[in-house]
Amino acid sequence: MSPGRLETLAIHVKPMDNEHPMNSIARYLQDELPRINAFLDAQAAGLDPVVRPAAQHVLGAGGKRLRPLLALVTARALGCTADPYPMACSLELLHSATLLHDDILDAAVMRRGRAAAHVEFGRTETILAGDALLALANKLVADYGIPRMNAVLSEAILRTVTGEIMEIASVRDTAMSQERYYEIITGKTAYLFQGACECGAILSGRGEAAERAAHDYGLNLGIAFQLVDDALDYVSPSEVMGKPSGGDLREGKMTLPLILHLRSLAPQARQELEARIAKDELDAGAARGVADAVAASGCAEATREAARVYAARAAQALDAFPGGQERDLMADILELVLSRNK
Amino acid sequence: MSPGRLETLAIHVKPMDNEHPMNSIARYLQDELPRINAFLDAQAAGLDPVVRPAAQHVLGAGGKRLRPLLALVTARALGCTADPYPMACSLELLHSATLLHDDILDAAVMRRGRAAAHVEFGRTETILAGDALLALANKLVADYGIPRMNAVLSEAILRTVTGEIMEIASVRDTAMSQERYYEIITGKTAYLFQGACECGAILSGRGEAAERAAHDYGLNLGIAFQLVDDALDYVSPSEVMGKPSGGDLREGKMTLPLILHLRSLAPQARQELEARIAKDELDAGAARGVADAVAASGCAEATREAARVYAARAAQALDAFPGGQERDLMADILELVLSRNK
């Protein structure tokens, strides 16, 4: 994929009715969140007492439940008659497992505004709680008796792990290409979104064309989601995000806003900044200054523009879905992902 | 289960023919090891370059391949006509994943006589390589299109993780009961053996009775295996095991030989030793002395006796298997597990 070309397309996604997309999603979530959370609580309660606290910590941290929501909505949009909750919630379990392991990889001390699990529960309990959640998710999905769902989820986890690894290997690599950046975010974020939607489609039993459409919707939505996330890291103050603003820059993560910003600088300024990033010489104040410059140069906004391209592709995939409340909601989710500012 | 009662049963398992069990297994392995290793090598080669070295390190460390062997032999004993290698090798991938994560939990620096993966490749690469192997194993099994195999393996991993957690939570707990010890070894070791055999049976398609027999064989064999392993830690010199002798004692692991030994001591001697274990006061020399006393008091041998009880149960489960080369081999494996001294 050539992001340079994509940015010039700049297709805009419109909400499908006049209601603000946030309202329709909020109404849906009002019904669904308690069910999703009750299911997750019951699963966590069934774990061994030694892993339970770390699992409950990460599951109870109040994530957006975006992955189970996507799985639910996709399944229903395609007329699913099976109970979708175990499948949908398995996506949150997988996501939570990656968060637990990430906490250790990053040596992160904050996660969603709370202390990271390994700080509170120890490294051992955190690694094993992650393994337990991975296994539990696989088991929930296996119990449907539809092996393709296990294959899709295993593949998604494998690719998620690979994406995380590529990201870590690319830290402070100021020569990193945009292609590599897209590979990383597709891996670490989009494949699990894709897995959520594809499993929803498989469970509905509507056949290959529907599964492919769900795959395309989820994958492109996931890429758009991460692009916006990476843009927000340069413009959103810490209080809103629950994590320090400009954090990616300080951690040496080469995300699109920074890649575009470096490319926009004069050769000497660029070399100087690259050297400071490579040598990890930016303290909090300096990082804040660079982050402001990235935002001021329009590179965060350009990253949001790129997100619109992928959201448009996701919207196109929706054409293959039968019309109805859930398809409208899937369009609204695209809109929300693009417009969110926290 | 009441280990006290079990020890009095002391049923002995005899090889099924006059050939030494090691010879029949060695001949089988001579054919199978290259195939198992070639399959594992190909899987490792297909991983992302960033996780590949850690994965190849653990897979190439030359384990006994006992789990894939068990899966293969069980499948064939039950007349399996499908290709058993992906299923069988997925068990080694799962086992290797737990070894990679264990390395980090234990902060172990040696594994099978080689440096632990996290020392050579870093903690991040090691955690993620473990996650990748877990996902790969699930995927290989999912590709058969038999969802019960995924359910069995997910359950086995969940129980393995739980067993590991219980073990860690019980370190230096000198009041630990035998019941708890059996729960731990069943969890951390036996469920994966059971999963190997049960998946072999499921793949053969011989029905529930065969699956139950395979389940019972694998579970009891696994318990016997770990009992012998724990006995060997008190009698086998370091050069043979590839890890320090008396290592469990120094790590504060409350295994059966130590539990039995503590129980055999006079109250004051027992209290003193328990205090030294609880406070981690045994240096290498003192640990060596205690380990020698455990062996001299017959507690390592009593642990081997307990293993014979479980091996006899496993042998009983074999009665439900059709006669033939593979069933004989499954009996030989029991004999080998009991007689091994390294």
Structure ipTM? 0.78
Q: What is the pLDDT of residues B44-84, one digit of tens each?
A: 999 988 788 889 988 987 778 999 999 999 999 999 999 99
> What is the rounded distance in angstroms from the CA atom of residue B292 to the CA atom of residue B233?
11
Chain A: residue nearest B165 by CA? A50
Residue pLDDT, tens place only, A10-23 = 344 444 455 677 78
pLDDT at position A324 is 93
Closest chain B residue to the Cα of A166, Cα to Cα: B50
pTM of the model as a whole = 0.83
Average pLDDT, chain B: 87
Each residue's pLDDT tens digit, B178-208? 999 999 999 999 999 999 999 999 999 999 9
Contacts of A98 (CB under 8 A, 6+ apart): A130, A157, A160, A161, A164, A192, B131
Q: Which fold has domain A6-339?
A: Farnesyl Diphosphate Synthase (1.10.600)
- A51 and B147 within 8 Å at the Cβ level: the answer is no
Any idea where the domains of chain A sit in the sequence?
Answer: 6-339
- Asked if A102 reaches chain B (Cβ–Cβ under 8 Å), the answer is no
Q: Residue A3: pLDDT band by 50, 70, 90 thresholds?
A: very low
Of A51, A101, A146, the CB nearest to B131: A101
Distance CA B156, CA B136 (A): 16
More confident site: B180 or A61: B180
pLDDT at B54: 87
Q: Mean pLDDT lowest for which of A3-7, A48-52, A286-290, B167-171?
A: A3-7
Q: Is the pLDDT of residue B310 over 60?
A: yes
Q: Which residue of A has its CA nearest to B144?
A: A147
Q: To the nearest whole number, what is the mean pLDDT of chain A?
A: 87
With beta carbons under 8 A apart, name residues in chain A contacting B158: 132, 135-136, 139
Q: What is the dihedral of CA B171, B177, B179, B185, to 10 degrees?
A: 20
Look at the block and give the residue holding tokens 């695209």.
A334
In this complex, the residue of A101, A151, A158 whose CB is nearest that of residue B127 is: A101
A252, pLDDT greater than 50: yes
Residue type, A224: A
Residue A59 has pLDDT above 80, yes or no: yes
Residues 6+ apart with CB under 8 A from B297: B260, B261, B264
Whether A243 shows a pLDDT value over 60: the answer reads no
User: Among A233, A264, A205, which residue's Cα sits nearest to residue A84?
Assistant: A205
User: Which residues of chain B are within 8 Å of residue A169 when distances are taken between CB atoms?
Assistant: 50
Nearest to residue A198, comparing CAs of A180, A209, A212?
A212
Choose from A98, A99, A124 for mutation: most chain B CBs within 10 A: A124
CA B8 to chain centre: 24
Chain A neighbours among B 288-307 (CB < 8 Å)? none
- Selecting from A50, A104, A158 the residue whose C-beta is nearest the C-beta of B165 gives A50
Q: With 0-12 CB in 10 A as exposed, 13-18 as middle and 19+ as buried, what is B215?
A: middle
| Contact assessment for residue A50 and residue B166, using Cβ atoms and an 8 Å cutoff | yes
Lowest-pLDDT choice from A4-18, A317-331, B282-296: A4-18
The CATH number of the domain covering residues in B3-339? 1.10.600.10
- pLDDT-derived band at A1 (thresholds 50, 70, 90) equals very low
> Is B9 touching A (CB cutoff 8 A)?
no
- Determine contact: A135 vs chain B, CB below 8 A: yes
Give how far A254 is from chain B: nearest CA, Å.
18
Among A99, A165, A202, the residue to mutate for chain B (most B Cβ within 10 A): A165
Q: Cβ distance B149 to B155 under 8 Å?
A: no
Choose the closest CB to A139 out of B128, B154, B164: B154
pLDDT tens digits for range A161-211: 889 888 988 999 999 999 999 999 999 999 999 999 999 999 999 999 999
Interface membership of A168 toward B (CB under 8 Å): yes
Q: What are phi and psi of A78, to 5 degrees?
A: -100, 15
Alpha-carbon gap: B141 to the closest alpha carbon of chain A (Å): 8
- Provide CB contacts within 8 A for B18, sequence distance 6+: none
Average pLDDT over residues B158-179: 91
Q: What is the 8-class DSSP label of residue B187?
A: I
